[in-house]
Structure 1
Amino acid sequence: MTTPRDLLIVAMDMAPDRPVERGDLSLALAGAEVLDLLAAQAIRLDDDHLVPGYRPAIADRLLDEAAESLVREAPYESIGDWLWRRGNGLSAAYVAALEAEGQLTRQRRRGIPFRTGQMVLVDSPARRQATERWTSDEPLLAALAAAVGVRGRQGGDPPDVDDDAVETVLAAVNDALVELEAVRQRRAIEDAAFDNIWRGV
């Protein structure tokens, strides 16, 4: 399993009553991909830019797609630009991948045989692995989950990360999430103003 898959499983498992916003999750998943690519030495950071390294064989299809889509010419791509480009619709792609692999199933609604319900996780080795990583307070997963509002059992801050490159990626994820929330608030204000105009007509 990969960090993005573990993050998706944790987000679905630990916040079933208050689902994580899809846009927030997509940005965090893109950040998780960067962290896994760093760990695989497929990229390195030059300040806040992603510099491709050697091209390793990656078994996970989506993570392999991420490696394939890296900008390979200078001045390369900033982490922030990557998060917005790669993150576009990424949560839906990971959900679809887990569903295709049988890791997710649609919960049927009682009495409505032809309507599909919400997606639920099945009991699987992947789910158990993600849960084990989560309960052990693994710093990367804990930090990414906290960024999208999923807190550990203790409810405190996630453990510190002792790696400058990882801290740079996590900071970029948090900055992107703040920017996305600002966009949401701006749209809400604009929509409210538009509604007020029509009420006055």
Structure 2
Amino acid sequence: MTTAKDLLIIAIEVDPSGPVGQGDLSLALAGAELIDLLGTRAVTLTGDRVLPAGDAVPEDRLLAEAVASLDREAPYETVDDWLWRRGRDLFAAYTAVLEEDGQLTRERRRRMSFAAPRTTVAESAARRRALHRWAADEPVILALAAAVGIESEQTEEEAVVTNDAVTTVLAAVHDAVMELEAVRRRRSFENAAFANVWRGA
């Protein structure tokens, strides 16, 4: 399992009906991928630029796709650009893979219900591992979860990340999620203003 998969399992398990949006999670999943690639030294950061650093291909299918998608020409891609490019529809990609692997299941609602099937986490070693990372207050998991609005009982002061490159990625995830929220609000205001124009016509 990877940090991205653990994060998705935690998001579904810990906050199944919470306000976490797919766009927010997609950005955080892209950040989780980058953190894992830093951990395996498949990439390095120079400032905020993501530089490929090795030829090894990860065993995980989605991480392998992430490596294959790296920009390998100078001036290289910024962390922010990576999050927005790689994060596009990443929630759907991870959900599909976890469902294929039997890690996620969709519970059917009662008959005559028009609600979408509820996604649940299957009991497995992967679930136990993800929840162990959460219960252990692992700083990276806590920070990624907090970026999308999932809070633990641990305070931010206790969740200390000491790796500068990882800190750079986490800060970029936080900023990207905030930017996405600002876009949502602006569109909401624009749509409301448009509706008011029509009502007054």
TM-score by length of 1: 0.95
Partner of 1:156: 155
Q: Is 1:188 aligned to 2:188, yes or no?
A: yes
Unaligned stretches of 5+ residues in structure 2: none
1:117 deviation in Å? 1.3
What's the secondary structure of 2:151's corresponding residue? coil
What's the secondary structure of 1:85's corresponding residue? helix
Q: Trace 1:29-178 onto structure 2 (pairs within 5 A).
A: 29-111=29-111, 117-152=117-152, 154=153, 156-157=155-156, 159-178=159-178
Unaligned stretches of 5+ residues in structure 1: none
2-structure distance, mates of 1:95, 1:41: 26
Contact 2:137/2:154 (8 A) holds in 1: no
Segment drifting more, 177-186 vs 104-113: 104-113
2-structure distance, mates of 1:94, 1:52: 23
1:150-183 per-residue CA deviation (whole Å, 9 max, x = no partner) reads 111x253261101111111111111111111110
**Kindly tell me: are residues 168 and 7 of structure 1, through their superposed partners in 2, closer, same or farther at Cα, counting changes over 3 Å?**
same
What's the secondary structure of 1:109's corresponding residue? coil
1:83 deviation in Å? 0.4
Q: Which amino acid aligns with 2:13?
A: D
What's the secondary structure of 2:118's corresponding residue? strand
1:21-74 per-residue CA deviation (whole Å, 9 max, x = no partner) reads 000000000000000000010000010000001022311100110011000000
TM-score by length of 2: 0.95
**Kindly tell me: are residues 66 and 105 of structure 1, through their superposed partners in 2, closer, same or farther at Cα, counting changes over 3 Å?**
same
1-structure distance, mates of 2:154, 2:19: 17
**Percent same amino acid at aligned positions?**
55
2-structure distance, mates of 1:149, 1:116: 22
Q: Which amino acid aligns with 1:193?
A: A
**Kindly tell me: are residues 174 and 186 of structure 1, through their superposed partners in 2, closer, same or farther at Cα, counting changes over 3 Å?**
same
CA RMSD of aligned residues (A): 1.6
2-structure distance, mates of 1:117, 1:96: 14
Contact 2:3/2:36 (8 A) holds in 1: yes
Q: Is 1:8 aligned to 2:8, yes or no?
A: yes
Q: State the number of aligned residues.
A: 200
